[in-house]
Structure 1
């Protein structure tokens, strides 16, 4: 395979809501470029990108898939991404290495919630973006509505490059406003016939062409002066202005096409290789220490690993972008995170599941290698002596959780190994055993995300598992002061056990004054691993308890705080004062004072108006305006506190605080209420007291379990 230099490589990512036609467009693009000799379809399960068994079963993309097209002297690396927010991790990693985003918009539905969510990531990275309104051949296509919605959402930067002459089932003609040419496609699609713009379209086309010229000119002072001088710009001058505007995020060109009928994909690729910026023109890659690395082959080699895939029978496949220099087979590179040397024994260009070996890849290119032992997603590999560590990707927080249980205890170890591999592949998936809840907790982005994970555990790893409702990580605390004396005495022949502890506890508050009425001799301020504080005061005078036993009393208190007196949940925000006691010269020891400290704390806790605290989460719901009322009604049944409602174009953003206990199955409920037209984000906010009736229920449940 030809090795392309850094000036002739373009990296694009196809983005858009589910069913916007990304995978189908990919098929047309690689077919047009001659990479394949026939176009596959999602229905026939023979597309180049959606090749995994789970994708065939579900009929939509689950993984981001890399492929390439060679078009008129350029290599275009294409990454096809899932359209569902459940697989947002694939979108984030693909965006990281792309130079240009191609956002597909379904001409029937215009800007959807999925488009909104993806746009947030594009704006964060300020990636050059073009819009492609797809499925113009659909009977319900409405190009004008889709374009108007795009302009309303993305602003005046949206500008037409093309428009359809005859959308709908008879679609076969577009007018290109850059070239001022009409393209008429044959029934089977492919290469169009170039025709003059007909008289009935001339006035409209010229008006839109002038808008495009103005948009190209306003991005560069020299071009603006030229435009004022001549009243127009040449095609190459327009290309220059459009590229500058795209790189500034001030121009979003709009194309129209039918990916299914292969009408318009070639013109789209022509614009990508002629106008869309490549890696060498983009902002230099940022490092973790704030430096930048230019994309040039003249520097030592450095790679950024943006994706990991573990394939059966093949092992670990690492996808990377060459950020500088050139990488050749047989090179040794140092991992900046692990400081372990990795040898690149094989290099590939990936077209779906097809591995095409190459001997060399240069700056700006995207490739893959296998069997890197100590390298994972977000890692940097670099030439020895060229120390660099690229800024890592940030992935969204989990939205949903469940408890995962292997049906056979014999599979627990195998489940742990599978979990490690799944997390290495998917940075938005977390599987961790909770000591507090005594459950293996799986967190992800949505019900579908968890369903796909279950499918993989069962079909790829041959594990029989089921999901259970996860427990809630409650916290316990107190509301008033209480004192208690506990004497531990045990005699069983020989040396016995004896300890007596006098203890007072009170609620901790930030910036509270030091307790009065006690002779404070020592203080331990402990930031608890599960949140909150423990302040432990030694108030012993006269040596009634030897100082060497105070750590044992503290240990007893901590053990009881790890398994709170009411429900067994962690306790927090408590001040403990040990102010008196007794000891025996022979029978007192560390274990005796630990037990006495634990029991004194427990009894005092139960007399200090104990209160159960529940985790409260910030919930943000993005919903179409007409469905806001239904969402609000549902939230009220979940004990939500509505914090405010903001407008975002045609959508409403509802901000609320909701108890975690009320968010079970919220993802499913939201999809049901809105037919999948809404999305949400979750972030932990704080712990807050549960209502009294809920506390009584939790106490009764805990007592029943103990009984």
Structure 2
């Protein structure tokens, strides 16, 4: 049996009771008796600076090289990096290079973990695992090695997050606390991603499924004392126009001293751009050149909020072609205001439409679940592009699906395939939203703005 386990032909299975700790002695004795020693099996092949393979032997006398395989974020003791030392030894006061960042990390302390207890040791030798506290810029999967003998070890490959939820703190004013806690937890668990969406003004947490995010929420409460709730994140829609219009924006205000006067004629039309394309064809000096930047600035501020639901406007061409000015009362501010008035008057007339983000879905599922997945894609307003065999009686379905419909797709795939299916979903482009969808989004935006 021992020979079979050592060669990899036999996989031993042990029974035990984690609550009453029964069977633990047999398990540990079995490991000592069955499993090969680090010297026999723990050597690895890394890559040197030029990308050539380098074989590392488990040898305490060699140059140190270790891989960080786990990170624990503790609010009291700080960051604890668990390392597996492949060759050499890591001792206190040694200096190692992090091959991902290129920074030198000074090792202040080396510890062995005995359950949750830390036992200080002089060094962690080759073939052993231990922990190093307070490594500032080192993350899970990083290689630490000697500056004289640089080598990169195989990191840990993690799956991409598939479910994103918006975070709402239960108590107002705790946003900073939530962000700090989540960043610490994402250091600990590389499959968690925490971002702040500046467009929708939401904090978004992404993970591998509902259970994963629930665990993160309870960890945040237990470790950092912050309560949060999760909700469906907002979808970043866009707006554009479908018709060419010519409008006037005239701003005139008379006060005690200087007045304000700005008058512009602008032609708005659709174009292929990610925002605003500004141009001018003013003849005869009806608007002095010095005021063109003010008109453009006014329009650039305006396109951040579209006429339908307040989403940013894309694909808009604005050409200043006429206007008038006053030698005394005209100023940059007056022309900026005139441009704003022209935008507000022209956009509703230019047949504005709502654009929704479309993503490319690649779902790999067992053959038996193909029909379910394709039916679900159609139900979510998706278009199936094709299927490819993925080996092991699996198929990959490719489809384009609106992002708004993909929120709980991760849960559906897991249920239907009993956890054997996986998928990736990446943003592709924006497309005009169907009128019934657009109407619903516009109503929701108006209700929310009304609340604000």
- Given the alignment, which residue of 44, 47, 71 partners 1:285? 47
CA distance in 2, matches of 1:383, 1:653: 44
Aligned to 2:406: 663
Aligned to 1:536: 278
CA distance in 2, matches of 1:488, 1:414: 46
Aligned to 1:595: 337
Aligned to 1:515: none
Q: Does 1:556 pair with 2:298? A: yes
Residue 418 of structure 1: CA displacement? 0.8
Residue 611 of structure 1: CA displacement? 1.9
What are the residue-to-residue correspondences of 1:99-114 with 2, within 5 Å? none
CA distance in 2, matches of 1:587, 1:45: 86
CA distance in 2, matches of 1:501, 1:291: 65
Where does the alignment leave 5 or more consecutive residues of structure 1 unmatched?
Answer: 1-11, 15-21, 29-38, 49-187, 192-261, 511-531
Residue 591 of structure 1: CA displacement? 2.6
C-alpha spacing 1:388/1:555, structure 2 compared with 1 (3 Å): farther
CA distance in 2, matches of 1:666, 1:657: 13
Q: Is the 8 A contact 1:397 1:682 kept in 2?
A: no
Q: Residues 643-692 of structure 1, C-alpha deviation per residue, up to 9 Å, x if partnerless?
A: 22233322232222211111222222333334444333222222221112
Residue 509 of structure 1: CA displacement? 3.0
Q: Does 1:456 pair with 2:219? A: yes
CA distance in 1, matches of 2:48, 2:240: 46
Q: Does 1:400 pair with 2:163? A: yes
Aligned to 2:3: none
Residue 317 of structure 1: CA displacement? 0.5
CA distance in 2, matches of 1:286, 1:556: 55
Residue 608 of structure 1: CA displacement? 2.3
Aligned to 1:470: 233
Aligned to 2:17: 41
Residue 272 of structure 1: CA displacement? 8.2
What are the residue-to-residue correspondences of 1:644-683 with 2, within 5 Å? 644-647=386-389, 648-683=391-426
CA distance in 1, matches of 2:147, 2:327: 65
Q: Is the 8 A contact 1:293 1:323 kept in 2?
A: no
C-alpha spacing 1:311/1:492, structure 2 compared with 1 (3 Å): same
CA distance in 1, matches of 2:115, 2:340: 61
Residue 310 of structure 1: CA displacement? 0.9
Q: Does 1:423 pair with 2:186? A: yes
Q: Supply the RMSD in Å over aligned alpha carbons.
A: 3.6
TM-score normalised to structure 1 length: 0.55
CA distance in 1, matches of 2:315, 2:324: 27
Q: Is the 8 A contact 2:357 2:427 kept in 1?
A: yes
Q: Does 1:581 pair with 2:316? A: no
- Given the alignment, which residue of 379, 392, 402 partners 1:637? 379
Q: Residues 283-318 of structure 1, C-alpha deviation per residue, up to 9 Å, x if partnerless?
A: x3255x746665367876555544321135332101
Q: Residues 412-462 of structure 1, C-alpha deviation per residue, up to 9 Å, x if partnerless?
A: 221121122122222332222222112222222211221111111222221
CA distance in 2, matches of 1:600, 1:286: 62
Q: Is the 8 A contact 1:295 1:363 kept in 2?
A: no
Q: Residues 537-573 of structure 1, C-alpha deviation per residue, up to 9 Å, x if partnerless?
A: 2333333333333222222222222222211112212
Residue 405 of structure 1: CA displacement? 0.7
Q: Does 1:328 pair with 2:96? A: no
SS in 2 for 1:698: helix
Aligned to 1:490: 253
Residue 355 of structure 1: CA displacement? 3.8
Work out the number of aligned pairs and report it: 438
Where does the alignment leave 5 or more consecutive residues of structure 2 unmatched?
Answer: 1-5
Q: Does 1:360 pair with 2:103? A: no
Aligned to 1:609: 351
CA distance in 1, matches of 2:156, 2:166: 27
C-alpha spacing 1:350/1:47, structure 2 compared with 1 (3 Å): farther
TM-score normalised to structure 2 length: 0.83
Return the structure number with greater strand share: 2
CA distance in 2, matches of 1:364, 1:616: 49
Aligned to 1:698: 441
More deviation in 471-480 or 501-510?
501-510
